[in-house]
Chains A and B, each alone.
Chain A
Amino acid sequence: MTAVPRSALATNRLKRLAGFALGLVLFYAPFALLIRLFGLLSPASAAGTSVADAHGACLRMPLGWLAQPWMWASLGNNALYWLPIAVLPLAAVATGPLFCGWLCPAGALPEYLSHAIPDRFKFDFKKHVSIVPLRYGFLAGILFVPFVASSICCSFCNFTQMQNVVSAASGNLSGFAFFSSMGLLAAAVWVVPLGLFTKGGRGWCLFLCPAGTVMGLASWASARLPWFPRVRANASLCSSCGTCSDVCPMRAIDVDESDQHTVNDHLCVQCQDCVGTCPTGALEYRRPS
């Protein structure tokens, strides 16, 4: 493998870190500026019934309502729910899941923490399991389960865990109360085996985030349309060095039988760590040629 241009990688990771800080301010209490903006459009918010925190970007609840038609009225009187249902997936159609790669602190926290652990101690899911069918299977399960059993609750959600971290860090001591029982176990799984000890650090994003999976599906479905940019590989420039695959946090670089590297649109979050590090410039964030 050729040497990775580490300065380009570090620069891109710093830019993304600034994006995640922005995401924290936009989506998470005590700031939640974007959630508050959507809340202003909502009669439910005006009545003081909406909570201005990461729950405003929750896709799991509207998905669960497929089995609870009496809840559909919530979609009419609370503009907040259109953020995860429509705005984020449509943005993923237009640009790819930039939210995941550049704004989501819940994905970023374990990813950045994992940089502290040497790669030899990490498990590379890509080498051992079929990530894409597992990912869609978990999403289908989350859609299916409310019809036959209990809905999967907030404690399984990394948005909730991240909100609890931010609440606790910003002085709201009730945030600590959630780190007990199931909350503690879910947070531990999110950060330790699926974060610190996962190659790329985004194991939870790979398998268990319904919002990320829906955005990945939207991105894949629209990737071939001529208007929308994605990270794309130019096969004629690829030297098959494997640098892109090594730095990809989502394990989204596939290698075909002729050793050419391609981007898996189901998984790619358009973070562009690979773009700056490719020694031959074979990867670009661009429209289809």
Chain B
Amino acid sequence: MSAVSRENVATFFMAVGAVGVTGFVARVCPTGCASCTTCWSALLPAGTAVASLGLAVAGSAALRARTAAHNVVKRETEVQSPDETG
């Protein structure tokens, strides 16, 4: 896999999106104080952060599994093709 593959680019933007969603929710938090420490309303951006970061990691895992499966199929095709053409 090259250093900058489609999988890596997609993973990168999923992570950007996860932080973006968290920042957006922090902005629309009812308190609007942007100092989410002891305020219980801050559980909204905090929960969003955990969920979106988890989704980004899960998305990366799914992309990697898909790429690995694709590579296996590709390798098998390459191994079989000499017999088929010969």
Contacts and interface: CB of A to CB of B under 8 A. Distances in A.
Interface of A: 125, 128-130, 132-138, 140-142, 144-146, 148-156, 177-178, 180-183, 185-186, 189, 207-208
A142 B19 contact: yes
A227 B43 CA distance: 48
A21 B16 CA distance: 34
Given A129-B60, A137-B13, A144-B20, 18 more contacts: A129-B57, A129-B64, A133-B8, A134-B56, A135-B15, A137-B12, A138-B56, A141-B18, A142-B19, A145-B23, A152-B23, A153-B26, A153-B35, A156-B22, A181-B37, A181-B39, A181-B42, A185-B47
Interface of B: 7-9, 11-20, 22-24, 26-27, 29, 34-40, 42-43, 45-47, 49-50, 53, 56-57, 60-61, 63-65
A182 B36 contact: yes
A132 B19 contact: no
B19 A144 contact: yes
A152 B46 contact: no
A150 B20 contact: no
Contact of A134 (B24, B34, B49, B57): B57
B61 to A, nearest CB: 5
Contact of A140 (B12, B26, B65): B12
Contacts, number: 135
Contacts of B17: 141
A177 B49 CA distance: 21
A180 B20 CA distance: 24
11 contacts: A130-B8, A130-B63, A133-B15, A134-B14, A137-B15, A140-B15, A141-B15, A141-B16, A149-B20, A150-B27, A155-B37
B64 A181 contact: no
Nearest to B40: A181
A77 B68 CA distance: 52
A153 B27 CA distance: 11
A143 B60 CA distance: 21
Pairs of residues from A and B, 10 with the lowest C-beta to C-beta distance, nearest first: A137-B15, A141-B19, A145-B23, A149-B23, A150-B27, A182-B46, A150-B26, A129-B60, A137-B12, A133-B11
Nearest to A142: B19
A142 B18 CA distance: 10
A95 to B, nearest CB: 24
A6 to B, nearest CB: 31
A261 to B, nearest CB: 17
Interface centre among A141, A146, A185, A186 (most CB of B within 10 A): A141
